[in-house]
Amino acid sequence: MSFGLMILLIFILGLGIWHSLKYQRILADRMEQVRIMESAFEHTALGMAIISPDFRFMKVNQAYADIVGYTRTEMLRMVPKDFVYPEDHEKDTPYTQEVFAGNIHSFTSLKRYVHKNGNILWIRATFSAVRNKSGNIKYFVAQIQDMTIAKKAEDELRKSRDDAEVLARTDYLTNTLNRRAFIERLKEELERTRRTQKGFAMILVDVDYFKKVNDHYGHLAGDYVLQQFAECLGNIIRAYDFIGRYGGEEFIICLPDTGIEQATMVAERMRESVEALEVDYLDSLIKVTGSFGVAAYDSHSSDTLDELIERADSAMYMAKHHKNTVYQWVS
Protein backbone atom coordinates (compact mmCIF):
# COMPACT_ATOMS: atom_id res chain seq x y z
CA MET A 1 0.00 0.00 0.00
CA SER A 2 1.35 3.31 -1.04
CA PHE A 3 1.98 6.05 1.50
CA GLY A 4 -0.57 8.35 -0.16
CA LEU A 5 -3.31 5.71 0.01
CA MET A 6 -2.53 5.09 3.66
CA ILE A 7 -2.85 8.79 4.40
CA LEU A 8 -6.20 8.88 2.59
CA LEU A 9 -7.51 5.88 4.55
CA ILE A 10 -6.41 7.43 7.84
CA PHE A 11 -8.14 10.70 6.88
CA ILE A 12 -11.38 8.89 5.95
CA LEU A 13 -11.25 6.88 9.17
CA GLY A 14 -10.63 10.01 11.25
CA LEU A 15 -13.44 11.83 9.47
CA GLY A 16 -15.79 8.96 10.21
CA ILE A 17 -14.77 8.92 13.84
CA TRP A 18 -15.27 12.73 14.06
CA HIS A 19 -18.75 12.48 12.52
CA SER A 20 -19.57 9.59 14.82
CA LEU A 21 -18.48 11.57 17.89
CA LYS A 22 -20.36 14.62 16.65
CA TYR A 23 -23.50 12.53 16.14
CA GLN A 24 -23.10 11.01 19.60
CA ARG A 25 -22.79 14.51 21.10
CA ILE A 26 -25.86 15.69 19.20
CA LEU A 27 -27.74 12.57 20.26
CA ALA A 28 -26.64 13.04 23.86
CA ASP A 29 -27.70 16.70 23.76
CA ARG A 30 -31.07 15.79 22.36
CA MET A 31 -31.54 13.03 24.91
CA GLU A 32 -30.65 15.52 27.63
CA GLN A 33 -33.20 17.95 26.22
CA VAL A 34 -35.79 15.19 26.21
CA ARG A 35 -34.93 14.32 29.83
CA ILE A 36 -35.25 18.01 30.81
CA MET A 37 -38.59 18.26 29.02
CA GLU A 38 -39.77 15.01 30.61
CA SER A 39 -38.72 16.28 34.02
CA ALA A 40 -40.45 19.62 33.47
CA PHE A 41 -43.57 17.82 32.24
CA GLU A 42 -43.65 15.56 35.29
CA HIS A 43 -42.70 18.02 38.02
CA THR A 44 -44.39 21.28 37.02
CA ALA A 45 -47.18 22.47 39.31
CA LEU A 46 -49.38 22.96 36.24
CA GLY A 47 -51.48 20.08 35.02
CA MET A 48 -50.14 19.06 31.62
CA ALA A 49 -51.33 16.58 29.03
CA ILE A 50 -50.65 15.55 25.46
CA ILE A 51 -53.97 15.19 23.64
CA SER A 52 -54.59 13.65 20.23
CA PRO A 53 -56.41 15.54 17.44
CA ASP A 54 -59.56 13.52 18.26
CA PHE A 55 -59.26 14.77 21.86
CA ARG A 56 -58.06 11.67 23.68
CA PHE A 57 -55.38 11.73 26.33
CA MET A 58 -52.04 10.39 25.09
CA LYS A 59 -49.99 11.37 28.12
CA VAL A 60 -50.85 13.04 31.44
CA ASN A 61 -48.68 14.34 34.27
CA GLN A 62 -49.40 13.75 37.94
CA ALA A 63 -50.40 17.37 38.59
CA TYR A 64 -53.25 17.09 36.07
CA ALA A 65 -54.42 13.86 37.71
CA ASP A 66 -54.24 15.46 41.17
CA ILE A 67 -56.31 18.46 40.06
CA VAL A 68 -59.20 16.39 38.69
CA GLY A 69 -58.91 13.54 41.19
CA TYR A 70 -58.50 10.64 38.76
CA THR A 71 -55.51 8.34 38.34
CA ARG A 72 -53.38 8.71 35.24
CA THR A 73 -54.44 5.24 34.12
CA GLU A 74 -58.11 6.21 34.41
CA MET A 75 -57.51 9.42 32.47
CA LEU A 76 -55.96 7.60 29.50
CA ARG A 77 -59.40 6.03 28.98
CA MET A 78 -61.13 9.43 29.12
CA VAL A 79 -61.45 12.64 27.10
CA PRO A 80 -61.05 16.20 28.45
CA LYS A 81 -64.80 16.89 28.21
CA ASP A 82 -65.39 14.17 30.79
CA PHE A 83 -64.22 16.63 33.46
CA VAL A 84 -65.95 19.75 32.16
CA TYR A 85 -69.09 21.03 33.88
CA PRO A 86 -72.05 20.24 31.55
CA GLU A 87 -73.06 23.88 31.00
CA ASP A 88 -69.46 24.71 29.93
CA HIS A 89 -69.11 21.86 27.41
CA GLU A 90 -69.39 24.07 24.33
CA LYS A 91 -67.49 27.04 25.74
CA ASP A 92 -64.30 26.19 23.81
CA THR A 93 -65.94 25.01 20.59
CA PRO A 94 -65.49 28.29 18.62
CA TYR A 95 -61.81 28.41 19.60
CA THR A 96 -61.06 24.80 18.69
CA GLN A 97 -62.69 25.40 15.30
CA GLU A 98 -60.37 28.37 14.77
CA VAL A 99 -57.34 26.22 15.72
CA PHE A 100 -58.28 23.46 13.26
CA ALA A 101 -58.82 26.11 10.58
CA GLY A 102 -55.30 27.38 11.23
CA ASN A 103 -56.45 30.85 12.20
CA ILE A 104 -55.03 30.65 15.73
CA HIS A 105 -52.32 28.55 17.34
CA SER A 106 -53.63 28.37 20.90
CA PHE A 107 -56.31 29.67 23.25
CA THR A 108 -56.95 30.04 26.98
CA SER A 109 -60.30 29.83 28.71
CA LEU A 110 -61.72 29.83 32.23
CA LYS A 111 -64.36 27.21 32.86
CA ARG A 112 -65.71 24.82 35.44
CA TYR A 113 -64.47 21.28 35.91
CA VAL A 114 -66.03 18.55 38.03
CA HIS A 115 -63.63 16.79 40.41
CA LYS A 116 -64.00 13.04 40.82
CA ASN A 117 -65.52 13.69 44.27
CA GLY A 118 -68.19 15.94 42.71
CA ASN A 119 -66.73 19.29 43.76
CA ILE A 120 -66.87 22.11 41.22
CA LEU A 121 -63.49 23.62 40.27
CA TRP A 122 -62.68 26.75 38.31
CA ILE A 123 -59.93 25.88 35.82
CA ARG A 124 -57.84 28.07 33.56
CA ALA A 125 -56.98 25.86 30.57
CA THR A 126 -54.61 26.57 27.69
CA PHE A 127 -54.60 24.44 24.54
CA SER A 128 -51.76 24.75 22.01
CA ALA A 129 -51.58 22.91 18.71
CA VAL A 130 -48.37 21.19 17.56
CA ARG A 131 -48.33 20.68 13.78
CA ASN A 132 -46.24 18.56 11.42
CA LYS A 133 -44.38 19.91 8.39
CA SER A 134 -47.57 19.64 6.34
CA GLY A 135 -49.39 21.89 8.78
CA ASN A 136 -51.64 19.16 10.12
CA ILE A 137 -52.16 18.90 13.88
CA LYS A 138 -50.05 16.13 15.43
CA TYR A 139 -51.33 16.71 18.96
CA PHE A 140 -52.33 19.33 21.48
CA VAL A 141 -50.42 20.38 24.57
CA ALA A 142 -52.89 21.17 27.35
CA GLN A 143 -52.06 23.07 30.52
CA ILE A 144 -54.54 23.52 33.35
CA GLN A 145 -54.38 25.52 36.58
CA ASP A 146 -56.81 25.31 39.49
CA MET A 147 -58.21 28.83 39.95
CA THR A 148 -60.98 27.90 42.40
CA ILE A 149 -59.55 29.78 45.40
CA ALA A 150 -58.64 32.82 43.29
CA LYS A 151 -62.09 32.84 41.62
CA LYS A 152 -63.82 32.62 45.00
CA ALA A 153 -61.70 35.52 46.31
CA GLU A 154 -62.46 37.54 43.18
CA ASP A 155 -66.21 36.87 43.52
CA GLU A 156 -66.15 37.83 47.20
CA LEU A 157 -64.25 41.03 46.39
CA ARG A 158 -66.74 41.90 43.65
CA LYS A 159 -69.65 41.19 46.00
CA SER A 160 -68.06 43.38 48.67
CA ARG A 161 -67.69 46.22 46.17
CA ASP A 162 -71.29 45.77 45.02
CA ASP A 163 -72.53 45.67 48.62
CA ALA A 164 -70.53 48.79 49.46
CA GLU A 165 -72.01 50.57 46.44
CA VAL A 166 -75.54 49.56 47.48
CA LEU A 167 -74.90 50.75 51.03
CA ALA A 168 -73.58 54.06 49.74
CA ARG A 169 -76.80 54.55 47.77
CA THR A 170 -79.29 53.19 50.30
CA ASP A 171 -80.96 54.83 53.28
CA TYR A 172 -79.87 52.67 56.21
CA LEU A 173 -83.24 52.86 57.99
CA THR A 174 -85.87 52.42 55.28
CA ASN A 175 -83.85 50.55 52.62
CA THR A 176 -84.97 53.07 50.01
CA LEU A 177 -82.58 55.18 47.94
CA ASN A 178 -80.88 57.93 49.89
CA ARG A 179 -81.31 61.52 48.73
CA ARG A 180 -78.09 61.65 46.69
CA ALA A 181 -78.79 58.36 44.91
CA PHE A 182 -82.38 59.37 44.18
CA ILE A 183 -81.32 62.68 42.62
CA GLU A 184 -78.78 60.81 40.46
CA ARG A 185 -81.52 58.48 39.21
CA LEU A 186 -83.82 61.45 38.69
CA LYS A 187 -81.21 63.17 36.52
CA GLU A 188 -80.97 59.99 34.42
CA GLU A 189 -84.75 59.96 34.08
CA LEU A 190 -84.70 63.60 32.96
CA GLU A 191 -82.15 62.78 30.25
CA ARG A 192 -84.23 59.81 29.14
CA THR A 193 -87.31 62.02 28.92
CA ARG A 194 -85.47 64.45 26.66
CA ARG A 195 -84.36 61.58 24.39
CA THR A 196 -87.64 59.68 24.21
CA GLN A 197 -90.09 62.61 24.53
CA LYS A 198 -91.85 60.65 27.29
CA GLY A 199 -92.54 62.35 30.60
CA PHE A 200 -92.49 61.27 34.20
CA ALA A 201 -94.25 62.19 37.41
CA MET A 202 -93.10 62.71 40.95
CA ILE A 203 -94.83 62.20 44.28
CA LEU A 204 -93.55 63.88 47.43
CA VAL A 205 -94.89 62.45 50.72
CA ASP A 206 -94.65 63.64 54.29
CA VAL A 207 -95.66 61.66 57.39
CA ASP A 208 -98.20 63.81 59.21
CA TYR A 209 -97.50 64.80 62.83
CA PHE A 210 -94.42 62.59 62.96
CA LYS A 211 -92.95 64.61 65.83
CA LYS A 212 -95.89 63.54 67.98
CA VAL A 213 -95.05 59.89 67.28
CA ASN A 214 -91.47 60.43 68.44
CA ASP A 215 -92.55 62.41 71.50
CA HIS A 216 -95.22 59.93 72.57
CA TYR A 217 -93.71 56.56 71.67
CA GLY A 218 -89.99 57.34 71.43
CA HIS A 219 -87.50 57.59 68.59
CA LEU A 220 -87.16 53.82 68.14
CA ALA A 221 -90.89 53.65 67.57
CA GLY A 222 -90.55 56.55 65.13
CA ASP A 223 -87.86 54.67 63.21
CA TYR A 224 -90.09 51.60 63.00
CA VAL A 225 -93.00 53.72 61.76
CA LEU A 226 -90.79 55.12 58.99
CA GLN A 227 -89.79 51.61 57.97
CA GLN A 228 -93.41 50.46 57.79
CA PHE A 229 -94.45 53.66 56.01
CA ALA A 230 -91.76 53.19 53.35
CA GLU A 231 -92.73 49.53 52.88
CA CYS A 232 -96.36 50.57 52.48
CA LEU A 233 -95.44 53.01 49.71
CA GLY A 234 -93.13 50.48 48.06
CA ASN A 235 -95.95 47.95 47.81
CA ILE A 236 -97.87 50.30 45.49
CA ILE A 237 -95.21 51.24 42.95
CA ARG A 238 -94.19 49.31 39.83
CA ALA A 239 -90.88 47.50 39.37
CA TYR A 240 -89.34 50.35 37.36
CA ASP A 241 -90.56 53.15 39.63
CA PHE A 242 -88.12 54.22 42.33
CA ILE A 243 -88.48 55.65 45.80
CA GLY A 244 -86.11 57.53 48.07
CA ARG A 245 -86.02 59.05 51.52
CA TYR A 246 -85.77 62.75 50.83
CA GLY A 247 -85.12 63.77 54.41
CA GLY A 248 -86.49 63.16 57.89
CA GLU A 249 -90.04 61.87 57.42
CA GLU A 250 -90.29 62.83 53.74
CA PHE A 251 -90.24 60.34 50.88
CA ILE A 252 -90.05 60.99 47.15
CA ILE A 253 -91.20 58.70 44.34
CA CYS A 254 -90.49 58.88 40.61
CA LEU A 255 -92.96 57.31 38.17
CA PRO A 256 -91.44 57.03 34.66
CA ASP A 257 -93.70 57.25 31.60
CA THR A 258 -96.52 58.57 33.78
CA GLY A 259 -98.74 61.62 33.37
CA ILE A 260 -100.19 63.80 36.10
CA GLU A 261 -103.61 62.10 36.23
CA GLN A 262 -102.21 58.57 36.46
CA ALA A 263 -99.69 59.70 39.10
CA THR A 264 -102.49 61.27 41.13
CA MET A 265 -104.36 57.96 41.12
CA VAL A 266 -101.20 56.18 42.30
CA ALA A 267 -100.76 58.75 45.07
CA GLU A 268 -104.39 58.27 46.09
CA ARG A 269 -103.88 54.51 46.39
CA MET A 270 -100.82 55.22 48.53
CA ARG A 271 -102.78 57.62 50.73
CA GLU A 272 -105.53 55.05 51.27
CA SER A 273 -103.00 52.30 52.00
CA VAL A 274 -101.20 54.48 54.57
CA GLU A 275 -104.51 55.45 56.14
CA ALA A 276 -105.30 51.75 56.64
CA LEU A 277 -101.86 51.08 58.12
CA GLU A 278 -101.64 50.16 61.79
CA VAL A 279 -98.09 49.92 63.08
CA ASP A 280 -97.88 47.36 65.88
CA TYR A 281 -95.09 48.44 68.22
CA LEU A 282 -94.65 47.05 71.75
CA ASP A 283 -98.35 46.29 72.13
CA SER A 284 -99.31 49.73 70.81
CA LEU A 285 -101.09 50.32 67.51
CA ILE A 286 -99.73 53.50 65.97
CA LYS A 287 -101.87 55.16 63.31
CA VAL A 288 -100.30 57.56 60.83
CA THR A 289 -101.40 59.47 57.77
CA GLY A 290 -99.49 61.15 54.99
CA SER A 291 -99.72 64.24 52.83
CA PHE A 292 -99.11 63.70 49.12
CA GLY A 293 -98.12 66.20 46.46
CA VAL A 294 -97.83 65.35 42.77
CA ALA A 295 -96.00 67.13 39.96
CA ALA A 296 -95.29 66.07 36.40
CA TYR A 297 -92.56 66.70 33.84
CA ASP A 298 -93.04 66.21 30.12
CA SER A 299 -90.95 66.80 27.01
CA HIS A 300 -92.21 70.39 26.80
CA SER A 301 -91.26 71.28 30.37
CA SER A 302 -88.46 73.73 30.95
CA ASP A 303 -88.23 73.32 34.72
CA THR A 304 -85.05 72.29 36.44
CA LEU A 305 -85.19 69.32 38.80
CA ASP A 306 -85.11 71.68 41.76
CA GLU A 307 -88.11 73.54 40.37
CA LEU A 308 -89.96 70.28 39.76
CA ILE A 309 -89.32 69.11 43.33
CA GLU A 310 -90.36 72.53 44.62
CA ARG A 311 -93.68 72.22 42.78
CA ALA A 312 -94.29 68.77 44.26
CA ASP A 313 -93.35 70.17 47.66
CA SER A 314 -95.85 73.03 47.29
CA ALA A 315 -98.58 70.56 46.30
CA MET A 316 -97.75 68.42 49.32
CA TYR A 317 -98.10 71.33 51.72
CA MET A 318 -101.43 72.24 50.13
CA ALA A 319 -102.52 68.66 50.85
CA LYS A 320 -101.58 69.12 54.52
CA HIS A 321 -104.27 71.77 54.80
CA HIS A 322 -106.88 69.67 53.01
CA LYS A 323 -107.02 66.27 54.68
CA ASN A 324 -107.91 63.11 52.73
CA THR A 325 -106.87 64.81 49.49
CA VAL A 326 -103.95 64.39 47.12
CA TYR A 327 -102.84 67.66 45.56
CA GLN A 328 -101.35 67.84 42.11
CA TRP A 329 -99.38 70.51 40.38
CA VAL A 330 -99.55 70.31 36.62
CA SER A 331 -96.38 71.25 34.73
The catalytic position among 165, 188, 249, 250 is: 249
Active site residue 249: yes
124 forms beta bridges with: 110, 145
Upper half-sphere CA count for residue 64 (Cβ side, 13 Å): 26
- 327-329 and 290-297: which strand pairing? parallel
Q: How far lies 97's CA from each of 53, 158, 184, 198, in Å?
A: 12, 33, 46, 47
| DSSP H or E stretch at residue 294 | strand 290-297
- Which phi and psi (to 5°) does residue 78 adopt? -120, 175
What span, in angstroms and rounded, lies between the C-alpha atoms of 260 and 298? Answer: 10
Q: How far lies 208's CA from each of 80, 225, 226, 245, 250, in Å?
A: 68, 12, 11, 15, 10
- Which phi and psi (to 5°) does residue 53 adopt? -60, -25
For residue 128, give the nearest of 149, 151, 111, 105 by alpha carbon. Answer: 105
Give the residue numbers marked as catalytic. 249
